[in-house]
A and B are shown apart, each in its own frame.
Chain A
Amino acid sequence: MTSLVADTRTVFSRELRPLRYDPFTIIISMVQPLVFLALFAPLLPGDKSEALRWFVPGIIVMSCLFASSMTGSNLLFEIQTGSHERMLVTPLRRPALLIGRALKEIVPMVAQAALIVVVCLPFGYRLSVGGALLGLVILAGFSIGLGALSYALALAAKHQEWMFWVVQQTLLFPILLLAGVLLPLDGGPGWLRTLASFNPLRYVVDAERALFTGDIWQSTTVTGLVAAAAVGAFGLFVGVRAMNRST
């Protein structure tokens, strides 16, 4: 019998394989945030390198949020054709199905993050490599959880696919805006900041900003880790449950 790591690798490499034959989709997804950055960053007030220090981690978090929330969308088709059912009958561990699929969405994001950083270097952007790597680990934990929730959503919506998109789109932007990814929350009204304090992504973003600049020994690192781990564990729990209950 296999281990969880081996199972995850099986699922992950299966998911990644079509991209190898069709690299164009990866290139598109890589360029997207660069366009976003190019059009948004000039609007940021003040010193450019300072603005990028705040903005680059946010962009990377945003890409991961979008990508991992899409985990279930590829699944919808496989649920219809029968290949998901085929995988459920194999002895693959259920969490491996969730983690492997979520990782497939976020691993290209790591390459994307590197690209963004490189593009920003000429504009005076500097980052701490160690801090950024820890930041990516935290982000991965969050993304696995969100990817698993997206997977569960696809299972729940398998008979009405539009429902998947309605829920995904409805939740995506509040999560994004209430995390202070695009605009800082500090100037917002009290109710908004209270709402944001219930958003785990907000703690992840705060942690990323500090880590990318090299402030590793901060309380934000701990709260970010805790928030990401909580989302990860919750997502896997819900995802496995959804798989076992799906008919």
Chain B
Amino acid sequence: MKPSVGHMIETRGLTKHFKDVRAVDGIDLTVARGELVALLGPNGAGKSTTLRMLTTLIPPTAGTATVAGFDVVRRQREVRQRIGYIGQGNGAGHSQRGRDELISQGRAYGMGVRPARARAAELIESLGLGEVADRKVATLSGGQRRRLDIAMGLIHAPELLFLDEPSTGLDPQNRANLQEHILRLRAEHGTTIVLTTHYLDEADSMAERVIVVDHGRVIADDSPARLKAEHVGDTILLGFDSEQETTAAAATLSGRDSHPYGKELRIRTQGGPRQVPGLLEDLRSAGLPAASVEVIRPTLDDVFLTLTGRSLREGGANADRQPAVELVEV
């Protein structure tokens, strides 16, 4: 019955087919204890299906997965006992009261009545649910319900927490709030956290490791910084007073990957900010002082674009207002 030491999650060729659809197509994944990992990808990429297999909700078509030391098919109860799961929906029944749901959730994990009650009170306090915990769940706002979901997932202080699209449908303030809670949880308890998201900024700011999933496969797996450096790099944008100067500057910097566009010179490079002073110096001594300079650091979307030729862009100019993800062919 002892869990194997070592990795928190380990999958080999994890696969899920729904009839003809290869939702997850052979994923090899290793997550160490204490990691905070984001699965990033467009809708339908296989993120949620992967999570549902890891949380024992659906059996894999092929391949194996070990979670918290136990096989997700043969040792479901042991896996369930050790993980917390916050799904896309609301975990609390709408006709129930939040506090009751928290206590019965604790009971479901084998906690005694009194410890469950105490733990529920503790979570209600720390998630700021004091005023609404004894109201019917149906009367709670979206943000309050989401915090209640988080509390439900944490009732048994799991060593591993899965969150499926945790901030979808939340306004920016609630999103920031939620992210803060997740990060605090990790800092205080060292909980291993695996979340799926299609919010680029969320993956970027929270996770120290991003696993990019597309068409049921892992196409990249690294820290946001390294993913960007490796797959995209920085762009230095130099502005000049005339097109002639731009062309001359491009000739001066012939050793570099530079492209003039009108009065603008785009230089693709690694470690952009560190290169700017030297670059400006070189141009000045060639009699071509730049009028403006801008360093554009890549986003994870640029990484996705480079990897797949498609953009993982959130609809509209203001991503916060339109949470729906949109796949744009370019």
- Contact of B55 with A82 in the complex, beta carbons under 8 Å: no
- A232 CA / B92 CA spacing, docked (Å): 29
- A87 CA / B85 CA spacing, docked (Å): 10
**Does any Cβ of A come within 8 Å of B298's Cβ?**
no
A89 and B104 contact, Cβ closer than 8 Å, known pairs A18-B96, A81-B93, A82-B91: no
Q: Nearest CB to that of B77 among chain A residues? A: A91
A interface, over-half SS: helix
- Contact of A10 with B108 in the complex, beta carbons under 8 Å: yes
Q: Which chain A residues numbered 1 to 35 have a C-beta less than 8 Å away from chain B?
A: 1-2, 6-7, 10, 13-14, 17-18, 21-22
| Total residue contacts A-B, CB cutoff 8 A | 82
- Contact of B105 with A90 in the complex, beta carbons under 8 Å: yes
Q: Nearest CB to that of B138 among chain A residues? A: A81
Q: Report chain B residues within 8 Å CB of A86.
A: 85, 87, 89, 91-92, 105, 149, 152
- Residue in A17, A22, A82, A91 whose beta carbon sits within 8 Å of that of B109 in the complex: A91
Nearest chain A CB to B106 CB, angstrom units: 9
- A91 CA / B88 CA spacing, docked (Å): 19
- Contact of B81 with A77 in the complex, beta carbons under 8 Å: no
A89 and B85 contact, Cβ closer than 8 Å, known pairs A82-B90, A82-B91: yes
- Residue in A10, A13, A85, A90 whose beta carbon sits within 8 Å of that of B87 in the complex: A85
**Does any Cβ of B come within 8 Å of A83's Cβ?**
yes
B interface size (C-beta, 8 A): 34
**Does any Cβ of B come within 8 Å of A78's Cβ?**
yes
- A242 CA / B109 CA spacing, docked (Å): 23
Q: Which chain B residues numbered 216 to 246 have a C-beta less than 8 Å away from chain A?
A: none
Nearest chain A CB to B63 CB, angstrom units: 17
Q: Nearest CB to that of B95 among chain A residues? A: A18
Q: Nearest CB to that of B58 among chain A residues? A: A247
- A93 CA / B76 CA spacing, docked (Å): 10
A10 and B59 contact, Cβ closer than 8 Å, known pairs A82-B91, A83-B89, A89-B85: no
Q: Report chain B residues within 8 Å CB of A88.
A: 57
Q: Report chain B residues within 8 Å CB of A134.
A: none
- Most chain A beta-carbon neighbours within 10 Å: one of B18, B83, B100, B149: B100
Q: Classify chain A: how many residues form its interface, as a range.
A: 20 to 34
- A67 CA / B87 CA spacing, docked (Å): 30
**Does any Cβ of A come within 8 Å of B80's Cβ?**
yes
- Contact of B81 with A1 in the complex, beta carbons under 8 Å: yes
**Does any Cβ of A come within 8 Å of B197's Cβ?**
no
Nearest chain A CB to B330 CB, angstrom units: 33
- Most chain B beta-carbon neighbours within 10 Å: one of A7, A82, A83, A244: A83
- A18 CA / B98 CA spacing, docked (Å): 12
- Contact of B91 with A17 in the complex, beta carbons under 8 Å: no
- A241 CA / B59 CA spacing, docked (Å): 12
**Does any Cβ of A come within 8 Å of B94's Cβ?**
yes
Pull 7 A–B residue pairs with CB atoms less than 8 Å apart, ordered by A.
A13-B104, A18-B96, A21-B136, A82-B90, A85-B91, A92-B108, A247-B52
Q: Report chain A residues within 8 Å CB of B59.
A: 244
- Residue in B55, B100, B152 whose beta carbon sits within 8 Å of that of A14 in the complex: B100
Q: Report chain A residues within 8 Å CB of B167.
A: none
- A134 CA / B219 CA spacing, docked (Å): 63
- Residue in B52, B89, B107, B108 whose beta carbon sits within 8 Å of that of A82 in the complex: B89
Q: Which chain A residues numbered 183 to 238 have a C-beta less than 8 Å away from chain B?
A: none
Q: Report chain A residues within 8 Å CB of B52.
A: 247
Q: Which chain B residues numbered 104 to 161 have a C-beta less than 8 Å away from chain A?
A: 104-105, 107-110, 136, 149, 152
